[in-house]
Amino acid sequence: MRTRRAPAPGTCGGSAYRDPLTGPNRGTTSVPARPARAYQDRTLAAMRHGSIPGTHGRVRPLILLGDPLLRTACEDVTEFGPELAELVEDMFATMYAAEGVGLAANQIGVGLRVFVYDCPDDDDVRHVGHVVNPRLVEADGVVLRGPEGCLSLPGLEAGTERYDHAVVEGRALTGEPVTVHGTGWFARCLQHECDHLDGGVYADRLTGWRRRRHLRQVARASWSG
């Protein structure tokens, strides 16, 4: 999933972007054009020190909407070995290079059920991790429509409805069971990445005029075939 930007006029459900590391922006003119920059700089510094994943990964080309790989449901991982660790490392490197907050394996052309994330929630708590063979076991709470973008649909976003709370169960690289709880923006990220692994994208959830407008924007996008 793409880094959050300030909501476009006319969208609802989103709040002004708050930098997850430096606190909320105050005033009405302080929302930066590239709100993720401070976050990104801090992330790159941490990568150089090897304290977060992705340091040794290879940035792989992103699969964009229109490629059948993005529309194919992924398969469960059965081998928890060094190749899986390398995949996760490459996914982190690719996500950071693209300034995303989440990435699913099929977005780099690998049809396995794996996603990675480095995403703040609405309380500015940073969540970093990966899930292998994730299952969305809970998605509930209020439904919020907020601006959502995707690294596989570069330059686009649309007000998309998501539950405010989500729980994902799966496994770590080691095969150990993991449970990830998310609220707010992070819950949105978890639902977005689970959709990817089933061959979906956020645009599938749009209805009415939002869907029609988004389809026109996709058709006009430079990357759209």
**Shortest distance, position 161 Cβ to Zn ion, whole Å:** 16
Considering only CA atoms, which of 5, 13, 16 is closest in space to residue 163? 13
CA distance to 22, 29, 214, per residue, from 17 (Å) = 12, 12, 22
Residue 12 marked as a ligand binder: no
Q: Which residue of the chain is nearest Zn ion when measured via CB?
A: 150
Residue pair 145/63 in contact by the 8 Å Cβ criterion: no
CB 160 within 8 A of CB 202: yes
| Closer residue to Zn ion, CB minimum distance, 108 or 150 | 150
d(CA 89, CA 54): 5
Distance, first Cα to last Cα, the chain? 21
How many CA atoms lie within 13 Å of 225's alpha carbon, on the beta-carbon side? 6
Return the bridge partners of 135, or none.
Answer: 169
- Number of residues in contact with Zn ion, rule: CB under 5 A? 2
Cβ closest to Zn ion, residue 1 vs residue 116: 1
Please state the closest distance from residue 53 (CB atom) to Zn ion, in A: 18
Q: What one-letter code names the amino acid at 215?
A: L
Closer CB to Zn ion, 1 or 84, in the complex: 1
192 is an annotated ligand-binding site residue: yes
Catalytic residue among 89, 148, 157, 193: 193
Q: Please, what is the minimum distance in Å from the beta carbon of residue 202 to Zn ion?
A: 7
Residues between 135 and 194 with contacts to Zn ion, criterion CB under 5 A: 150
Is 161 considered catalytic here? no
Residue recorded with tokens 């992103």: 62
Q: Is 196 annotated as a binding residue?
A: yes
CB 192 → Zn ion: shortest distance, Å?
6
Catalytic positions, please? 193
Going by the annotation, the residues of the binding site are 150, 192, 196
Going by the annotation, the residues of the binding site for Fe cation are 150, 192, 196
Instruction: Enumerate binding residues for Zn ion (CB under 5 A).
Output: 1, 150
